[in-house]
Structure 1
Amino acid sequence: MSAKKATKKTARKGARKTAKRAKRVATPKKSIYEFGKKTDGSSKLRNLLGGKGANLAEMARIGLPVPPGFTITTEVCTFFYENGRKYPTTLDKEMRQSVASIEKQLGKKFGASKKPLLLSVRSGARESMPGMMDTILNLGLNDKTVEALAEESGNAAFAYDCYRRFIGMYGDVVMGVQPQHENDHEPFDACLDELKKEVGVELDNQLTADDLKELIKRYKALIKSRTKSAFPQDVYEQLWGAVGAVFSSWQNERAILYRQKYNIPAEWGTAVNVQAMVFGNMGDTCATGVAFTRDPANGEKVFYGEYLINAQGEDVVAGIRTPNPIAKLKEEMPAAHAELEKVRKQLERHFKDMQDFEFTVEEGKLYMLQTRNGKRTGLAAVRIAVELVKERLINQKVALTKIPADSISSLLVAVFDEKAIKKAKLLATGLPAGPGAASGKICFTAEKAEGVAKSGGHAVLCRVETTPEDLRGMIAADGILTSRGGVSSHAALVARQMNKVCVCGASDVVINYGARTLTVGKTVLKEGDDISIDGTTGEIYAGHVDTAPSEVDQVLSGKKKPESSYTYQLFDQVMSWADKARKLGVRTNADSPEQAKNAVALGAEGIGLCRTEHMFFEGDRITYMRQMILSSDENERRAALKKLLPFQRRDFTGLFKAMGGRPVTIRLLDPPLHEFLPHDESAKRELANSLGVDIDIITERVHALHEANPMLGHRGCRLGISYPEITEMQARAIFEAAAACYKLKKPIKVVPEVMVPLVGFADELKNQAAVIHRVAEEVMTAKKVKFKYLVGTMIEVPRGAVTADEIAETAEFFSFGTNDLTQTGLGMSRDDAGSFLGKYKETEIMPQNPFASIDTKGVGKLVELGVKGGRSTKKDLKLGICGEHGGDPSSIEFFHNVGLDYVSCSPPRVPVARLAAAQAALK
């Protein structure tokens, strides 16, 4: 199935599902809000008008030069899907009244043969979704109005250029003229390229009026042959077609994929913005551009953006022509540049954030077409927030809410190693659009990038320019490289939002999709060859280039001084603000002193999960572990465990020292025993020889330990109850390590937290706690030292959550193991769920991966039950979470709201958790 057909199929499914699931609502009382001289809306109506419509209204309200128009609300979108793609009966009347309002303001007439009014029709969701939905420009042109536009403007080439653009857009978006197979070119682009070749020109704006008239004939013929319908001449038929197409694009494949990635609910819908056209393609006194009030790549306070003379806005964003930097506009159109500088300052003062805005200069007059909070890299998000506080535009608390929690991790991304760069072959330099370093296999298609990523490799998506159809590949790739397009192109915009390494507009790079080659001068690289890109400098290297730790990591490890790194200073500032604001503690999941030290450097306040089973796989330990498992009686098991004890004690001592007295939660042995045994013949034979037993004994024991469903079998506390000597050895190792820390020259007052896994019955914990308490007394007596310790459990099976009040009679703390609680609560294996999760997300049965972000309505309810039950028995019961959800911002907000004391996550996620916890508290 072609990508376009797949898009249609997905859209139909999505539309049916939205219609089926949405609740019935009454016809909206008001379907349209106007902006211009008469402005009904404001930025406060974002949910109703979408981001674009709300901000257009707001710009009009503060006196910026906004072409008049109107917004059809998101409620109409909901109505549209609920009622079989029909509109409220009042919409036609409201729309005609609003068109009449634009006509009156401009002295033009929609569909008239003199002074025709032309319109743009654009989408506008609550959250910006760049390039994901459809747009129509120059609507209102037909065979008569194009002649009027040519006469009125005195520029026939301009008029027919607008008409051919409109026919191409309308034919594609509304009438469905699309490529017929995977390798087919866009049909209208193919027509255009063919004509340019025939008349011997390179650029679109070099075509004459007669050339464009010929192109229009070919476009119309193409539409007729593909759709069996003529291009519509009635302007209101055009308008209804465009409105319907924008609403329908809410359920196209790329929009659905984008919503899934950024957790945008389908029920929000999109608004439709209809606005009077202004023209940047009337000649050399006209221009169009996209600009940012600050650099979206690094956050620097500079006027940043690009423009094209004699062009329409889509030319800039699509990356078809590489535009000029905004600084050059000062030379070519000084008055427009000066006015834009004033607008830039006004926008930041009013919206109190970095803005991304679109503008058009029509015969020297500036018009503002859109503004929104600009997509930015993680580094830029942090820098902009900090500097806006310094400029007193916002306070610290507001600054914290403006930094997506995941963004802070981008300050910790690797950079290219300085020594490796000196040896690398520099191919070319493009525009730095997404900072960081990426090395990977050259991939020319989204499908190829996905394939490389799925196989565990690293991909760099290399395109002439990207389109929304490349979204899957952009998500899969480590880096993105384009040979055309600027810093406001689709590639740059999406890469910044995803925090992807990106280099755009590398004009020396020649990409040949047919030959599957990337050429720079005499160097030819093939698909699958390694390439490396630096999104901070724009440099492109042949082959793989080794990376080095980030500047922040280098400061934290002592290799750099804090004052030498502005990036570190930004990181440190935001983290200090976050720590003041948050209520949740942040711990780490760590099994070794090195992991623990790294986590402490990043701000971890303790260890929330030490998985002791990870310690059994090093060196001789695995042999002793296997010897214990294969023992025929308790005496043999104790002999093997005695050999393991010194290793465990040394491990725990190292952890306690690394944590310097911070709390350390140690989970007792959790996985089933068969995981430690060999399963292939050569490994079994090697083990038999090392233990001096017959291989048949090994084979028989492995077979005996086999379980049909190990996740639900003989593991966790069930092992400790069956073989209490295992619990005894681990408890002894923990407490002897604690005692040793108390007897150091500089004593470390360790308070170990011993966690019993997989408890579902109160008596299971009582059984294991009795062993642990006995061993603690024995060690304190033998070592002549007294220390505090806690015994608690991991709530990871539904029964444990439901009977938490009973379990809390023995437990001194709970840690919710949400990985297994999700598996047992949903009846899904995270190892096998991948085979159907994609379909579940696509159909929105399960909008998010429950193993990445907590299922608040299901598994979350179990957590709430556990919290309520546990604290009903012990008001001061310590509560934490140590599953992977502990590093997910939306999950952290949930854990804050249900009253946990701390979250625990992997060391690299600690800064993310600190910021997310602060944001949860501020909400």
Structure 2
Amino acid sequence: MTVNRWVLHLDGSALPDRKLIGGKAWSVARMAALGLHVPPAFVITTEACLSYLAEGGFPAGLEDEIAGGLEWLEAQTGRSFAGGDKRLLLSVRSGAAISMPGMMDTVLNLGIDDAGEAALASETGLPAFARDTHRRFMELYSAIVLKSPVELAHDADPASWRAEVAKAGGEVPADGRAQLRGAVQAVFDSWNTRRAKRYREHNNIPHDLGTAVTVQVMVFGNLDELSGTGVLFSRNPLVGDPVPYGEYLPRAQGEDVVSGKFTPLSLEAMHAHVPEAHGALLAASTLLEAENADVQDIEFTVQMGKLYLLQSRSAKRAPAAAVRFAVDMVDEGRIDPATALSRVSAEQVATLLLPHLAAGAAENAQLLLAGEGACPGVATGILVADSDEAERRAAAGEAVVLVRATTSPDDVHGMIAARAVVTEQGGSTSHAAVVSRALGRPCVVGTGAGALALVGRLVTVDGATGKVYDGALPTEAPREAEDPRLSRLIQWARERSPVTVKHPGEGTPADAVDVDLLLAEGSVDDLAGALTGKAAARGSALANVEIARAVRRAGVRTMITEPVLPALLVALED
């Protein structure tokens, strides 16, 4: 690996610190080291991003190192970024050290211009593909870099596209290096967007990490009928079944899957289209899960029947899947119980133990919408179509359900505020699905047209079945003792916890402070003072994760509540 200050070549010869190069670049280097088929790439480090954000411009030497990275990619591929008959086109992607799926910016097909389109058409013999690739770049660059989103006609020419971009107030540079500079700046700037900050705050991710930028050789899922793109999870991220799960979209690029604007095919359908690539994908999935000892989320492209891996990361998972993954991997000998506990959050267990639809509740209910369940769970609220409105109404104490045609990174604050998310379009690997699983929100995708017409209705969303019902349906609460996997997590947690957490039926110390009573007379902020020096606390409020954390910070050594696992996991956070 060539060592510079700001730019590193991801050839697999070394594995730099994830904090320096971000999770995306780390996975590219790791997959290359494992001998998997990965397009060549270099990375601009998080240190360069932090310097850019602090100084308001590229740090000294960065542009020269980027030029060196381009020369290296040209040597690796035999293509030219500056011109020639074989054009080098690039993807430019963000990649923080801690995964933030769907939060920041990506530009594809960078380096194309009118001459590049002609060269691509001549090389492939597919002028329609070359024109489609040029249009995709113009749209993405306008939206991401110029902040002037446009929809360009598929049957128009580049001059017409440029005129449309100009009407929106932008201009896409023809020079590839100018394009790259703009794209890198846009990715750096995306670290401080509202959506990224809101996601970090919600997930307790530090604001001072910065993002790396991965610059990678393009492979084309939109090339022909033997090309496509998709996402594979090495196990089911909704419920935890130990079988591969994912989607494939023929003749498309990665942003088509994430956008939710297209309905992808199943992995079984991929096997029918490109069987050799499908087999290679399953083999890579098995290898990457074993190497990382965790369930993987793998992004891939197929070009003319050949598989290319673009990224592999630990999968975001619904609460039920998180519990099953953790326990199953202990049973398989892949991880130990302490690691299993670290992979299940108190919030996930609390969500898992929220009420679900009561038996028979749906039988006489009015079914409003049916789609694909993308994150299990049940929630009731008023349908709201605007993310700002959802955030505002939720802050006022109202239960809302966000409904959109599709979601984008600009909707993250609304998704955080909502009790559930519903989209008319998209599949189980769309932006709405992936982010909802990360947030633990019940989610239904692909309901078809008509969901937005229901704005203002009170609905109940069942993210397991993919159904949306009229009104508030009756629910019942699950019991953690009835779930054998939760029972095992409780056992492991009790063996390691510095705090004793007991059910009310297991005995309550006489000096235990009633937290429910304290909260009735004050607020969470008052707990620290009221509990200082107290050995024990009791009350149903301790099932609330934030209240359990406040009680733990006060130094309490015994908690009596039900359920017990969220409080035990809070105790283990230290």
What TM-score results when the alignment is normalised by the length of structure 1?
0.58
Tell me the alpha carbon deviations over residues 92-140 of structure 1, each in whole angstroms, 9 at most, x when there is no partner. 2211111111111111111213100000001111111122111110000
> In the alignment, which residue of structure 1 is the partner of 2:450?
510
Gaps of 5+ in 2: none
2:166 is the alignment partner of 1:224: yes
Provide the C-alpha distance between the structure 2 equivalents of 1:401 and 1:65, rounded to a whole number of angstroms: 32
- By how many angstroms is 1:819 displaced? 2.4
Q: Secondary structure at the match of 2:363?
A: helix
Query: Is the contact between residue 524 and residue 550 of structure 2 (CA under 8 Å) also seen in structure 1?
Result: no
Query: Matched residue pairs, number?
Result: 571
Cα gap change, 1:895 to 1:664, in 2 (>3 Å)? closer
2:566 is the alignment partner of 1:912: yes
Q: Secondary structure at the match of 2:361?
A: helix
2:19 is the alignment partner of 1:47: yes
Q: What letter matches 2:465 in structure 1?
A: T
Query: Is the contact between residue 514 and residue 538 of structure 2 (CA under 8 Å) also seen in structure 1?
Result: no
Provide the C-alpha distance between the structure 2 equivalents of 1:399 and 1:582, rounded to a whole number of angstroms: 14
Provide the C-alpha distance between the structure 1 equivalents of 2:31 and 2:217, rounded to a whole number of angstroms: 15
Query: Is the contact between residue 528 and residue 551 of structure 2 (CA under 8 Å) also seen in structure 1?
Result: no
Q: What letter matches 1:916 in structure 2?
A: V
2:264 is the alignment partner of 1:323: yes
Query: Is the contact between residue 319 and residue 351 of structure 2 (CA under 8 Å) also seen in structure 1?
Result: yes
2:115 is the alignment partner of 1:172: no
By percentage of residues, which structure has more helix? 1
- By how many angstroms is 1:661 displaced? 5.5
Tell me the alpha carbon deviations over residues 200-221 of structure 1, each in whole angstroms, 9 at most, x when there is no partner. xxxxxxx5xxx142xx333311
Q: Secondary structure at the match of 1:418?
A: coil
Cα gap change, 1:474 to 1:905, in 2 (>3 Å)? farther
> In the alignment, which residue of structure 2 is the partner of 1:155?
126
> In the alignment, which residue of structure 1 is the partner of 2:512?
665
- By how many angstroms is 1:325 displaced? 1.4
Gaps of 5+ in 1: 1-27, 179-187, 196-206, 519-526, 557-561, 563-567, 588-598, 601-657, 677-710, 712-816, 825-862, 871-877
Q: Secondary structure at the match of 1:149?
A: helix
1:12-27 correspondence runs (5 A):
none
Q: What letter matches 2:54 in structure 1?
A: E
Provide the C-alpha distance between the structure 2 equivalents of 1:668 and 1:282, rounded to a whole number of angstroms: 62
Structure 1 runs of 4+ aligned residues shifted over 6 Å read 667-671, 821-824, 881-886
> In the alignment, which residue of structure 1 is the partner of 2:218?
277
- By how many angstroms is 1:540 displaced? 2.5
Provide the C-alpha distance between the structure 1 equivalents of 2:569 and 2:68, rounded to a whole number of angstroms: 48
- By how many angstroms is 1:420 displaced? 2.1
Cα gap change, 1:232 to 1:670, in 2 (>3 Å)? closer
Cα gap change, 1:886 to 1:267, in 2 (>3 Å)? farther
1:110-125 correspondence runs (5 A):
110-125=81-96
Query: Is the contact between residue 172 and residue 179 of structure 2 (CA under 8 Å) also seen in structure 1?
Result: no
Provide the C-alpha distance between the structure 2 equivalents of 1:668 and 1:351, rounded to a whole number of angstroms: 42
Tell me the alpha carbon deviations over residues 516-541 of structure 1, each in whole angstroms, 9 at most, x when there is no partner. x14xxxxxxxx211222211111222
Q: What letter matches 2:439 in structure 1?
A: M
User: For 1:543, which of 471, 477, 495 is the aligned residue?
Assistant: 471
- By how many angstroms is 1:891 displaced? 8.2
Q: What letter matches 1:77 in structure 2?
A: C
Query: Is the contact between residue 882 and residue 905 of structure 1 (CA under 8 Å) also seen in structure 2?
Result: yes
Q: What letter matches 1:225 in structure 2?
A: K
- Identity rate of aligned residues, in percent? 38
> In the alignment, which residue of structure 2 is the partner of 1:135?
106
2:526 is the alignment partner of 1:820: yes
Structure exhibiting the larger radius of gyration computed from Cα positions: 1
Q: Secondary structure at the match of 2:402?
A: strand
1:525-674 correspondence runs (5 A):
527-550=455-478, 552=479, 556=481, 562=482, 568-586=483-501, 599-600=503-504, 660=507, 662-666=509-513
2:216 is the alignment partner of 1:241: no
2:113 is the alignment partner of 1:407: no
Tell me the alpha carbon deviations over residues 31-68 of structure 1, each in whole angstroms, 9 at most, x when there is no partner. 11111xx33542x6111111111111111111111100
Tell me the alpha carbon deviations over residues 593-638 of structure 1, each in whole angstroms, 9 at most, x when there is no partner. xxxxxx43xxxxxxxxxxxxxxxxxxxxxxxxxxxxxxxxxxxxxx
> In the alignment, which residue of structure 1 is the partner of 2:7?
32
2:346 is the alignment partner of 1:393: no
Provide the C-alpha distance between the structure 1 equivalents of 2:301 and 2:224, rounded to a whole number of angstroms: 12
Provide the C-alpha distance between the structure 1 equivalents of 2:178 and 2:294, rounded to a whole number of angstroms: 40
Q: What letter matches 2:6 in structure 1?
A: S
- By how many angstroms is 1:263 displaced? 1.7
Query: Is the contact between residue 887 and residue 906 of structure 1 (CA under 8 Å) also seen in structure 2?
Result: no
Cα gap change, 1:887 to 1:661, in 2 (>3 Å)? closer
Query: Is the contact between residue 353 and residue 373 of structure 1 (CA under 8 Å) also seen in structure 2?
Result: yes
Task: Tell which has more relative contact order, 1 or 2 (C-alpha 8 A, sep 6+).
Answer: 2
Q: What letter matches 2:450 in structure 1?
A: V
Query: Is the contact between residue 41 and residue 73 of structure 2 (CA under 8 Å) also seen in structure 1?
Result: yes
> In the alignment, which residue of structure 1 is the partner of 2:66?
95
Provide the C-alpha distance between the structure 1 equivalents of 2:514 and 2:124, rounded to a whole number of angstroms: 77
Provide the C-alpha distance between the structure 2 equivalents of 1:119 and 1:361, rounded to a whole number of angstroms: 16
Query: Is the contact between residue 111 and residue 141 of structure 1 (CA under 8 Å) also seen in structure 2?
Result: no
Query: Is the contact between residue 221 and residue 227 of structure 2 (CA under 8 Å) also seen in structure 1?
Result: yes
Tell me the alpha carbon deviations over residues 138-168 of structure 1, each in whole angstroms, 9 at most, x when there is no partner. 0000111111011111111111111111111
Cα gap change, 1:34 to 1:664, in 2 (>3 Å)? same
- By how many angstroms is 1:260 displaced? 1.4
Provide the C-alpha distance between the structure 2 equivalents of 1:579 and 1:148, rounded to a whole number of angstroms: 65
Q: Secondary structure at the match of 1:506?
A: coil
1:822-841 correspondence runs (5 A):
none
Provide the C-alpha distance between the structure 2 equivalents of 1:882 and 1:212, rounded to a whole number of angstroms: 69
Cα gap change, 1:584 to 1:360, in 2 (>3 Å)? same
Cα gap change, 1:454 to 1:667, in 2 (>3 Å)? closer
1:410-421 correspondence runs (5 A):
410-421=351-362
> In the alignment, which residue of structure 1 is the partner of 2:311?
370
Query: Is the contact between residue 818 and residue 882 of structure 1 (CA under 8 Å) also seen in structure 2?
Result: no
Provide the C-alpha distance between the structure 2 equivalents of 1:511 and 1:428, rounded to a whole number of angstroms: 7
Cα gap change, 1:31 to 1:506, in 2 (>3 Å)? same
Provide the C-alpha distance between the structure 1 equivalents of 2:120 and 2:528, rounded to a whole number of angstroms: 63
Provide the C-alpha distance between the structure 2 equivalents of 1:302 and 1:326, rounded to a whole number of angstroms: 11
Q: Secondary structure at the match of 2:351?
A: helix
Provide the C-alpha distance between the structure 2 equivalents of 1:467 and 1:55, rounded to a whole number of angstroms: 24
Cα gap change, 1:579 to 1:248, in 2 (>3 Å)? same
User: For 1:64, which of 36, 41, 48 is the aligned residue?
Assistant: 36
Query: Is the contact between residue 297 and residue 312 of structure 2 (CA under 8 Å) also seen in structure 1?
Result: yes
Q: Secondary structure at the match of 2:310?
A: strand
> In the alignment, which residue of structure 2 is the partner of 1:81?
53
Provide the C-alpha distance between the structure 2 equivalents of 1:879 and 1:549, rounded to a whole number of angstroms: 30
Q: What letter matches 1:546 in structure 2?
A: P
> In the alignment, which residue of structure 1 is the partner of 2:429?
488
> In the alignment, which residue of structure 2 is the partner of 1:380?
321
- By how many angstroms is 1:309 displaced? 0.4
What TM-score results when the alignment is normalised by the length of structure 2?
0.92
Provide the C-alpha distance between the structure 2 equivalents of 1:70 and 1:670, rounded to a whole number of angstroms: 58
Q: Secondary structure at the match of 2:484?
A: helix
Provide the C-alpha distance between the structure 1 equivalents of 2:71 and 2:516, rounded to a whole number of angstroms: 75
Larger displacement relative to structure 2 (90-99 or 154-163) = 90-99
> In the alignment, which residue of structure 2 is the partner of 1:631?
none
Provide the C-alpha distance between the structure 2 equivalents of 1:93 and 1:468, rounded to a whole number of angstroms: 32
Tell me the alpha carbon deviations over residues 642-701 of structure 1, each in whole angstroms, 9 at most, x when there is no partner. xxxxxxxxxxxxxxxx56464542469999xxx99xxxxxxxxxxxxxxxxxxxxxxxxx
Larger displacement relative to structure 2 (422-431 or 327-336) = 422-431
Tell me the alpha carbon deviations over residues 249-272 of structure 1, each in whole angstroms, 9 at most, x when there is no partner. 111111111111112221111111
